[in-house]
Structure 1
Amino acid sequence: MSDENAANGETPEVETPEATPEIDPIEALRAENAELKDRVLRTIAEMENLRKRTERDVADTRSYAIAGFARDMLSATDALSRALLVLPPEARESGDATTKSLIEGIEMTEREMQRLLAKHGVKPIEAEGQKFDPHKHQAMFEVPDPSRPEGTVVQVVQAGFAIGDRVLRPAMVGVAKGGPSHAPADETVDKSV
């Protein structure tokens, strides 16, 4: 075939191997070095994130590990509070020494339980006079009160408690109805427009 091309006056095709660019070994090593450096930096960053996440998980576990126990203790504390509430005032004043001792013992026990709960991070949720917050309060009833802003907690039926930023038990409350609505504190109305 090439003879025919030469006889016809055509230039013969020369088959040449494709030219492959030669890879500089130094550049290849630099690229590999950059890739390995990037992998090491990513691995270090992942390990640092894992360390921080683990520290946060350990701190949360320490803070919230007693949540179930604290919730149970709140029931016992409530029972002591109710026992003190049902005692008539005259039993405190005119009762015999045994009755007075029993009342003092119940009061001391309730105070000690409250102190121990507070020591472990269990704090009461402020509710009375606050704007109703469904994350912290459970509305039990509405109280018609035009003198109070609507949505204000006017009565606490059962105290709520939180541990850290988590609610253990929402406060059971009565909420005002019929008063002026709450104006958002952080929004100001521009009347000049």
Structure 2
Amino acid sequence: MTEQANENRAPEEAEAANTPATDAPEFQADTEAFLRLAKENEELKDRALRLAAEMENLRRRTQRDVADARSYAVTNFARDMLSVSDNLRRALDAIPPQALEAGDAGFKSLAEGVEMTERAMLSALERHGVKKIAPEGERFDPNFHQAMFEVPNSEVPNNTVVQVVQTGYVIGDRVLRPAMVGVAKGGPKAGEAPAQAADTSQAE
């Protein structure tokens, strides 16, 4: 009987010997090390993703800066050239109209030469992204226009540009020089005129 009991306990003891002791210090140490490595791995992964995002943002900013440098590199030069263009226009305006009407060859040749020079200069500036602002008849926009005076005019909506004193220019989507303008005062607010017209037609 004793021998049979010993034989029955032998497989159980062998199985117990092969089963890992989860409470053993070595097992706990291995588990803690695994968890620590997993956490470090997640931190490294997160850091790598952030670094990749920062590099992508840097690449985009660099591309934008390069594009801006190409588009606006001539800004200061273009602004100086506008002063020259203004002087050419003043020279044209200084030529007596009577001399041109009388067919004075000297004044006519001078006017033609100055006009050709002005057109060539503005054409060259336009090739580099500089364009005129032609705001007459448009609503006043402080981002592109500089109001110099008000003109009493009830026939157009209030704050409509009715006169351009000095031509404005933009380079790309930036203002190189605002247009100096006169704006209407005393007319209906923008958007009111159509409603008033509709009311008048209904009354009739």
User: TM-score, normalized by length of structure 2?
Assistant: 0.74
Which residue does 2:133 correspond to in 1?
A: 125
Q: Which has the larger radius of gyration?
A: 2
> How many percent identity over aligned positions?
63
Which residue does 2:48 correspond to in 1?
A: 40
- Say yes or no: does 1:50 pair with 2:58: yes
SS of structure 2 residue aligned to 1:180: coil
Residue in structure 1 matching 2:29, options 18, 22, 28: 22
- For residue 93 of structure 1, report the CA deviation from its aligned partner: 4.3
- For residue 98 of structure 1, report the CA deviation from its aligned partner: 3.5
SS of structure 2 residue aligned to 1:22: helix
Structure 1 unaligned residues grouped into runs of 5+: 1-18, 185-193
Structure 2 unaligned residues grouped into runs of 5+: 1-24, 193-204
SS of structure 2 residue aligned to 1:48: helix
- Say yes or no: does 1:175 pair with 2:156: no
Q: Which has the higher helix share?
A: 2
1:32-111 mapped onto 2 (5 Å cutoff): 32-111=40-119
* Letter of the 1:22 counterpart: A
- Distance of 1:23 and 1:92 partners within structure 2: 101
- Say yes or no: does 1:154 pair with 2:162: yes
- Distance of 2:159 and 2:104 partners within structure 1: 46
Which residue does 1:114 correspond to in 2?
A: 122
SS of structure 2 residue aligned to 1:99: helix
Distance 1:151 1:96, change over 3 A: closer
Note the alpha carbon deviations across 1:116-143, whole angstroms, 9 max, x for none.
1111111111210010111111111100
Distance 1:130 1:52, change over 3 A: same
- Distance of 1:153 and 1:36 partners within structure 2: 61
SS of structure 1 residue aligned to 2:142: coil
Per mean C-alpha deviation after superposition, the further-off stretch among 56-65 and 170-179 is 56-65
SS of structure 1 residue aligned to 2:51: helix
Which residue does 1:135 correspond to in 2?
A: 143
* Letter of the 1:157 counterpart: V
Residues 95 and 107 in structure 2, CA contact (< 8 A), matched pair in contact too: no
- For residue 27 of structure 1, report the CA deviation from its aligned partner: 4.1
- For residue 68 of structure 1, report the CA deviation from its aligned partner: 1.1
* Letter of the 1:173 counterpart: V
Once superposed, what is the RMSD of the aligned Cα atoms?
Answer: 2.0
* Letter of the 1:119 counterpart: R
- Distance of 2:118 and 2:98 partners within structure 1: 21
Count of aligned residue pairs for this structure pair: 166
